[in-house]
Structure 1
Amino acid sequence: YLVRAQIARLFPDAQAARVTGEVRLIWKDWSSYSVDCKLASLQTKMGDQDVALGASFSLTPQSLDVEDLALAYGSLNVQVPQFKIDRLAQRASGAFRLKGTAFGRDMDINGSGELAFSPFDTWDKAMDGLTTLRSSIQIQSARLDAWQSSEAFQINLEKQKDTITLNGGPKNSIRLQIGQGGAFYAAFSNPLPLRGSITGTLLNGIIDASTRDLYVDFPVFWALFNLQSMVDFTGGFLNATIRITGPLSDPEFSGRAEGKSVRLRVPDWVVGELGPASVDLVFNGNEMSFGPLILPAEKGYGTIQAKFYFDRWIPTTFTMGISVPPTNAIPFKNSLFGVHALGLASGNLNLTLDEAGFKIGGVLTAQNTQVTLDTRAMTEAQGTSGGEVFPVFVDLLIKTDRKVEFLWPSEELPVVRGYADIGSNLHILSNSVAGRYSLTGKVQFRGGEVFYFQRSFYITEGILTFNENEIHFDPRLILRAEIRDRTDEGPVTIALVVNDAPFSTFTPRLESDPPLSQFDILSILGQNLTLSSQNNPNQIQNALIAASSDVFAQFNVIRVFEKNIRDTLNLDMFSVRTQVLQNAVLKATGLRSEAVDRMNGLGNYFDNTTVFMGKYFGPNLFVQSMLSLRYDPTKAYDLFGGMTLEPDIGMELRTPLFNLRWDFVPTHPEHLFIDDQSFTLSWKWSLK
């Protein structure tokens, strides 16, 4: 009886092995004895893997019975509920289950088997029984990573002196024969992903084989990497002509393969599939390479080059580069730390798998893209830890091009909607194992709007600053947005100002030109709602609900209209803000404070309607125009019912030394519009 006994005292080659169990021996002579052993645990190491074994067995001159065998080798577990060898009947039978991870593959196999062997006299001559073998293995269920057998199958093995024959598998799809001198022939058929034949020699652990026109299902081949969640080949097949030489444990390959209908997905970065396309693969030593390969994606395309490196038959590492020209951007998406991007991108994306983990890097240029800053997701991301099983590293620089807009706090009802200037940069760093990430950069707003007090303020200047990490995530905002309205004394410009404040404390300041009190400013923004004596509470409530419904009209119906106009006219910016519904409701309910003899003309309903558009001509010249529709009571009886147009035109030119801006608001034709123009010269520098 042994308890955690150190076997190294008896067997010096054993690596820190410890055994717990008991053995009972009843002996008369070599023809009459029995050995009963209950091995509670045997713990040792093989290489860098921990090994644990437990079993019960009974040995007599006629038979060997094994029960409850459990073997753990690293992450692989082997269970044998019962196994029996009957020496006199020349038969062996048993059941087994393999579950866990081996060679980087997750598996779960259930089966049973029977074996017939040659006669031998005593257990010390058991190798004589291997002269002739006939075996049958039934697989009840089998799963390897995402692949799973659809039905049970059988594998038959037969050995006659120097000849070994194997056949079976799903729908009898595997055939193998090894003859004298190591010559062998192997054939594979449907439904296996590998179809064709391989011939050659296998002698003293050295293989020399070749195949012609071997069919390979490319998605199943790619599944060997177990990286479908990051990069996934979803379609395609290969016809390969390859020679295999060298040690059987780690051979080298030479030859070529032609791939057709190849499709690729990068789930976290590219929308939809890239492809289909044809590809030529080259095998040289332990390396397989292809490219440049052009894969179409909607109206754009990407060019891909890749190299794969084999280790012990399995492709274990690779490098892949995806290049997209600016004129053929492809759809992309990404969600990191509460920043959700969806649009088009060009540039270079590098994907690498090596011993350290999976790495994503490169430089991407975003265009026609919508970026949503999700405050709730940002908060949830703070303080999260790493510990990912598979290491993922990100080092990515994202640049903004045309039609890139930032939304906060949600896509459905954004309070801030800013158009990014061309050339703004965001740098993303991430380490999933350590739980570290950072997002740094500045985005300058060229235009946009802020929806506040149910009114849209147009952004005249703004900067969004990111200096975020896994501990703190709260971007800061510098902003000035304006809206034009009027009082009884004349026109007034109301400005909404945010001075370098985080989004979590978004509390803008309101100011006006000419100066007004906060009460007067809020009165203008509140549409001059008054609770007169004839207004009952139900009427007021219904009016407010109806007026606020204009919010949903702006953020749903008009959003679709804006996008269609922007794409049709090839504009970089276009937006429409109108209060037609509000004006109609307020007019009908009498909640608006106004003169009793005011004419209900067209201007009443389109009052405070604004149309904004902008376009880049190259990276350095930007032209914008804003058209405001106002009600003028002095023109209430004209053709347009008091509706007047107030255009505002601007142009900005960047030079290496300074920025030049021209603004034109045509309101004084009697002075030939000289007083309505302004020129601004600006420059900046940093002191370090």
Structure 2
Amino acid sequence: SGQAFSDSLIQALTGQDYSIDFKMSFTDFTLSDSYSLADSQVDMHLENGLLSFSGSLVDGIFDTASGYLELDIDENNLFGFKAKGYIKEEMDLLVTDLRFPLPLMNQFMDVPTFSFTDGLIEGDVLITGPLSNPSLYGMAYCQSYEMTLFYLPDQTITVKNVALSINDHSLLVSRTPLAGYSEADGRYFFGDVSVDIILQGLGVETFDVSININDATPVDFWLPVILDGGGEVEIRGDVSGYIDFAVNAGKPKLTTDITASSMLIDFRLDEELPSWCYDKTQGPPAMDITLTTGHDVEFYYPEKDSPFINFTLAENRTARFIFEDGVIRTDGAMALKTGQVYYFRNDFIIKEGSVDLSERNLFGTESTLPVVLNLRAEITDYDSDGNKVIISMMLQNATLDNITPRFSSTPAKSENEILSMLGQSVLASGALDRTLSLSSLARFAATARETLTRVGVLESNKNYSITGIVRSSLGLDIFSARSNILANVIVDALPGEITGRADVSMLARYLDRTSLFAGKYIGNDWFVKVRLMLKADSNVRLSKNVGHFLAKDLILDTEISLDWDTPMGTLSVFTQPQELSVFDILDTIGFSVTRQIQY
């Protein structure tokens, strides 16, 4: 009763013998991740400094004078153990029959990029030392645990037969084999993992998970980066090698030394990121990424749906990316295997080139990716007499925010003649002409729409998703298709006319400058490429000099090449037939040897 409790309390305060009985109830006790404590009641009895307690989930005694404790927490609780020893300023406590669910560790680590999803630790631990910062000694075991990483989406890592060594403030899981499964594509992967946890006081000071993925079973790796100023970078592909995720003093860091294949690098995120990625108080995780290229590592700028430039990197090249405080620093150089540069509605095919990752800022701010380009790209066109002209575009020390090309041709022509063939002069003269026609304005607007689409001002047609499906269905390593049908239809539908358009058929007008590019690895060292391009022929008398497709005024330009990577360089066998016949293919065959020196 209330009177008996108050009398006992007065006796305790006055130093007399006393005895107090009371109850404690726990209801609606929940943690995040759906963990909850069953409703329970504990009967407590305090007599002359000795506290005893018992209930459905906990039993024990505690001597307030000596600090002696005996405690038994039922395993049906959130966690269970037995403890016996002393708890005062200096601890000396033996914990036995420990059963601790690993997902509870997530409650003590504010690390949304990593979590345990299953697992139970069992073992014995001796706790000694100051109450504020005790030391732990013992061994624990886990039959199996599962964990996930934000950077390995839709993939679960499983580790079995784990031994946990506990020494002072360190909890160490030595390197143990792992297996994993991807819910997205059903792939399995294998490797090994180690875990190192450093305790400080009653919290976790350092948490480090180190993973090695076997080369034969890569994982799907996703690295989204939010830059200061709103910029975005996305890296996604299959990787193998070393992946380390650590949290030190509350600051996360991702470190890798990986080999990548089937990887895409671009500057727009398609998927919505969780809110913590935009948390300015904590900031994004620091990163130190060492990446070695394998097959099919592609780069798109400004984004994959409508790039100005895209290229595939050569194999066995290494680069390093360091991201700290919203700033990216890079190191290394990579050779280009192939790719495309889109310039005034023309797709130039990259023949050779390199990417130099130097300390330069992409957009003129400290928050962007430094990329310096040196390359040579080609396109085939025809002069007014029907002669084939190979137009070369050169970029020298160009950056993604300042692409200023130079042009040459075979046979040699002036730059004005080359630009006229490419169609640039039509826009330039029309834009400056005071008597600008509606058709010329439509051409300018259609080209402007494509430009706005490519820089993300207008919504793109998501053509990368379509080409990705085609590439996967045909088993290709590289595939891209581009069409200017929309721009051609807009121009054709408006009154007035542009010089030369009335001289070609409707089919030729609509399919003008449609291009297709495909590539496939054959083994480790061989690579075959096919390029097709359609171009409207405004002069029918050219038909005897060039190959045509579907109509006499629609030129089909074809190039097929086979590259062989050798220690001495790349040997290429190519052909540019006017028609897809055996005789024409053999009649236009050629050879080249390329060796790139980087310094």
**Shared fold per TM-score greater than 0.5:** yes
Q: Is residue 542 of structure 2 the alignment partner of residue 645 of structure 1? A: no
1:325-379, Cα deviation, whole Å (9 max, x unpaired)? 33432222224555431222222113345689755433112222221257xxxxx
Question: Map of 1:497-536 to 2, 5 A cutoff?
Answer: 497-526=394-423
Q: Is residue 293 of structure 2 the alignment partner of residue 407 of structure 1? A: no
Residue 206 of structure 1 and its aligned partner are, at CA, apart by: 3.0
Residue 512 of structure 1 and its aligned partner are, at CA, apart by: 3.5
Q: Which residue does the alignment assign to 1:164?
A: 51
Cα distance in 1 for residues equivalent to 2:506 and 2:323: 59
1:140-185, Cα deviation, whole Å (9 max, x unpaired)? 99999999999999987532247423468xxx86554448995724
State whether residues 347 and 515 of structure 2, in contact with CA within 8 Å, keep that contact through their aligned partners in structure 1: no
Cα distance in 2 for residues equivalent to 1:181 and 1:588: 92
Judged with a 3 Å threshold, the aligned counterparts in structure 2 of structure 1 residues 166 and 288 are, in CA distance, closer, same or farther, namely farther
Cα distance in 2 for residues equivalent to 1:323 and 1:347: 5
Residue 201 of structure 1 and its aligned partner are, at CA, apart by: 5.1
State whether residues 174 and 188 of structure 1, in contact with CA within 8 Å, keep that contact through their aligned partners in structure 2: yes
Q: Which residue does the alignment assign to 1:23?
A: none
- Which amino acid counterpart does residue 486 of structure 1 have in structure 2? Y
Judged with a 3 Å threshold, the aligned counterparts in structure 2 of structure 1 residues 556 and 119 are, in CA distance, closer, same or farther, namely closer
Judged with a 3 Å threshold, the aligned counterparts in structure 2 of structure 1 residues 258 and 185 are, in CA distance, closer, same or farther, namely same
Q: Which residue does the alignment assign to 1:397?
A: 290
Cα distance in 1 for residues equivalent to 2:284 and 2:310: 35
Cα distance in 1 for residues equivalent to 2:12 and 2:419: 102
| Alignment counterpart, residue 532 of structure 2, candidates 612, 627, 630 | 627
Cα distance in 2 for residues equivalent to 1:550 and 1:469: 28
- Which amino acid counterpart does residue 400 of structure 1 have in structure 2? T
Q: Is residue 344 of structure 2 the alignment partner of residue 459 of structure 1? A: no
Cα distance in 2 for residues equivalent to 1:253 and 1:670: 76
Q: Is residue 218 of structure 2 the alignment partner of residue 340 of structure 1? A: no
State whether residues 418 and 448 of structure 1, in contact with CA within 8 Å, keep that contact through their aligned partners in structure 2: yes
Question: Map of 1:57-72 to 2, 5 A cutoff?
Answer: none
- Which amino acid counterpart does residue 593 of structure 2 have in structure 1? L
Judged with a 3 Å threshold, the aligned counterparts in structure 2 of structure 1 residues 236 and 546 are, in CA distance, closer, same or farther, namely same
| Alignment counterpart, residue 274 of structure 1, candidates 148, 153, 156 | 156
Give the secondary-structure state (helix, strand or coil) at the position aligned to 2:299: strand
Residue 620 of structure 1 and its aligned partner are, at CA, apart by: 2.7
Q: Which residue does the alignment assign to 1:229?
A: 112
1:484-509, Cα deviation, whole Å (9 max, x unpaired)? 22232223333332111233322223
Q: Which residue does the alignment assign to 1:438?
A: 329
Q: Which residue does the alignment assign to 1:112?
A: none
Q: Which residue does the alignment assign to 1:592?
A: 498
Name stretches of at least 5 consecutive residues in structure 1 with no aligned partner: 1-87, 93-114, 122-127, 375-386
Judged with a 3 Å threshold, the aligned counterparts in structure 2 of structure 1 residues 223 and 419 are, in CA distance, closer, same or farther, namely same
- Which amino acid counterpart does residue 560 of structure 1 have in structure 2? S
Q: Is residue 320 of structure 2 the alignment partner of residue 427 of structure 1? A: yes
Judged with a 3 Å threshold, the aligned counterparts in structure 2 of structure 1 residues 558 and 686 are, in CA distance, closer, same or farther, namely closer
Cα distance in 1 for residues equivalent to 2:52 and 2:144: 32
Question: Map of 1:354-365 to 2, 5 A cutoff?
Answer: 360-365=254-259
Report the aligned-residue RMSD: 4.7
Residue 548 of structure 1 and its aligned partner are, at CA, apart by: 5.8
Cα distance in 1 for residues equivalent to 2:493 and 2:329: 53
Give the secondary-structure state (helix, strand or coil) at the position aligned to 2:499: coil
State whether residues 306 and 318 of structure 1, in contact with CA within 8 Å, keep that contact through their aligned partners in structure 2: no
State whether residues 550 and 581 of structure 1, in contact with CA within 8 Å, keep that contact through their aligned partners in structure 2: no
| Alignment counterpart, residue 418 of structure 1, candidates 290, 306, 311 | 311
Cα distance in 1 for residues equivalent to 2:112 and 2:582: 68
Residue 285 of structure 1 and its aligned partner are, at CA, apart by: 3.9
1:652-677, Cα deviation, whole Å (9 max, x unpaired)? 22222333222222349999767623
Judged with a 3 Å threshold, the aligned counterparts in structure 2 of structure 1 residues 281 and 116 are, in CA distance, closer, same or farther, namely farther
State whether residues 318 and 333 of structure 2, in contact with CA within 8 Å, keep that contact through their aligned partners in structure 1: yes
Cα distance in 2 for residues equivalent to 1:495 and 1:439: 29
The higher relative CO (CA closer than 8 Å, separation ≥ 6) is in 2
Q: Which residue does the alignment assign to 1:108?
A: none
Residue 440 of structure 1 and its aligned partner are, at CA, apart by: 0.8
Cα distance in 1 for residues equivalent to 2:253 and 2:16: 53
- Which amino acid counterpart does residue 126 of structure 2 have in structure 1? T
Q: Is residue 516 of structure 2 the alignment partner of residue 611 of structure 1? A: yes
State whether residues 484 and 493 of structure 1, in contact with CA within 8 Å, keep that contact through their aligned partners in structure 2: yes
Q: Which residue does the alignment assign to 2:571?
A: 660
Cα distance in 2 for residues equivalent to 1:504 and 1:672: 42
State whether residues 577 and 584 of structure 2, in contact with CA within 8 Å, keep that contact through their aligned partners in structure 1: no
State whether residues 519 and 529 of structure 2, in contact with CA within 8 Å, keep that contact through their aligned partners in structure 1: yes
Q: Is residue 119 of structure 2 the alignment partner of residue 207 of structure 1? A: no
- Which amino acid counterpart does residue 326 of structure 1 have in structure 2? D
- Which amino acid counterpart does residue 178 of structure 2 have in structure 1? L
Q: Which residue does the alignment assign to 1:301?
A: 189
Give the secondary-structure state (helix, strand or coil) at the position aligned to 1:524: helix
Cα distance in 2 for residues equivalent to 1:649 and 1:270: 38
TM-score (normalised: structure 2): 0.74
Give the secondary-structure state (helix, strand or coil) at the position aligned to 2:359: strand
| Alignment counterpart, residue 681 of structure 1, candidates 589, 593, 596 | 593
Cα distance in 2 for residues equivalent to 1:568 and 1:520: 41
Judged with a 3 Å threshold, the aligned counterparts in structure 2 of structure 1 residues 507 and 547 are, in CA distance, closer, same or farther, namely closer
Q: Which residue does the alignment assign to 1:264?
A: 148
1:289-342, Cα deviation, whole Å (9 max, x unpaired)? 263221212424353422345646766545432122334322222245554312
Judged with a 3 Å threshold, the aligned counterparts in structure 2 of structure 1 residues 664 and 360 are, in CA distance, closer, same or farther, namely same
Name stretches of at least 5 consecutive residues in structure 2 with no aligned partner: 269-279
State whether residues 37 and 78 of structure 2, in contact with CA within 8 Å, keep that contact through their aligned partners in structure 1: no
Cα distance in 2 for residues equivalent to 1:118 and 1:150: 35
Cα distance in 2 for residues equivalent to 1:301 and 1:282: 22
- Which amino acid counterpart does residue 231 of structure 1 have in structure 2? F
Cα distance in 1 for residues equivalent to 2:569 and 2:588: 23
Question: Map of 1:122-141 to 2, 5 A cutoff?
Answer: 128=15, 132=19
Give the secondary-structure state (helix, strand or coil) at the position aligned to 2:350: strand
Higher strand share: 1
State whether residues 306 and 463 of structure 2, in contact with CA within 8 Å, keep that contact through their aligned partners in structure 1: no
Q: Which residue does the alignment assign to 1:329?
A: 218
Judged with a 3 Å threshold, the aligned counterparts in structure 2 of structure 1 residues 349 and 670 are, in CA distance, closer, same or farther, namely closer
1:389-433, Cα deviation, whole Å (9 max, x unpaired)? 89976443111222221122344542111111112221134566x
Cα distance in 2 for residues equivalent to 1:581 and 1:571: 27
State whether residues 274 and 302 of structure 1, in contact with CA within 8 Å, keep that contact through their aligned partners in structure 2: no
Cα distance in 1 for residues equivalent to 2:504 and 2:515: 22
Judged with a 3 Å threshold, the aligned counterparts in structure 2 of structure 1 residues 129 and 453 are, in CA distance, closer, same or farther, namely farther
1:171-207, Cα deviation, whole Å (9 max, x unpaired)? x8655444899572422476x532x452545589533
Cα distance in 1 for residues equivalent to 2:478 and 2:181: 28
Residue 574 of structure 1 and its aligned partner are, at CA, apart by: 1.2
- Which amino acid counterpart does residue 189 of structure 2 have in structure 1? Y
1:438-479, Cα deviation, whole Å (9 max, x unpaired)? 311122221111222233222222222112379855321112
User: What is the identity percentage for the equivalent residue pairs of Structure 1 and Structure 2?
Assistant: 19
Cα distance in 2 for residues equivalent to 1:662 and 1:255: 62
Give the secondary-structure state (helix, strand or coil) at the position aligned to 1:116: helix
State whether residues 118 and 133 of structure 1, in contact with CA within 8 Å, keep that contact through their aligned partners in structure 2: no
Cα distance in 2 for residues equivalent to 1:670 and 1:259: 61
Give the secondary-structure state (helix, strand or coil) at the position aligned to 1:221: helix
Cα distance in 1 for residues equivalent to 2:27 and 2:208: 38
Q: Is residue 263 of structure 2 the alignment partner of residue 369 of structure 1? A: yes
1:546-574, Cα deviation, whole Å (9 max, x unpaired)? 56666769952542332112112222211
Q: Which protein shows a greater Rg?
A: 1
| Alignment counterpart, residue 484 of structure 2, candidates 579, 595, 599 | 579
Give the secondary-structure state (helix, strand or coil) at the position aligned to 1:567: helix
Cα distance in 2 for residues equivalent to 1:498 and 1:133: 88
Q: Which residue does the alignment assign to 1:449?
A: 340
Cα distance in 1 for residues equivalent to 2:327 and 2:445: 46
Give the secondary-structure state (helix, strand or coil) at the position aligned to 2:466: helix
- Which amino acid counterpart does residue 154 of structure 2 have in structure 1? G
Cα distance in 2 for residues equivalent to 1:319 and 1:494: 54
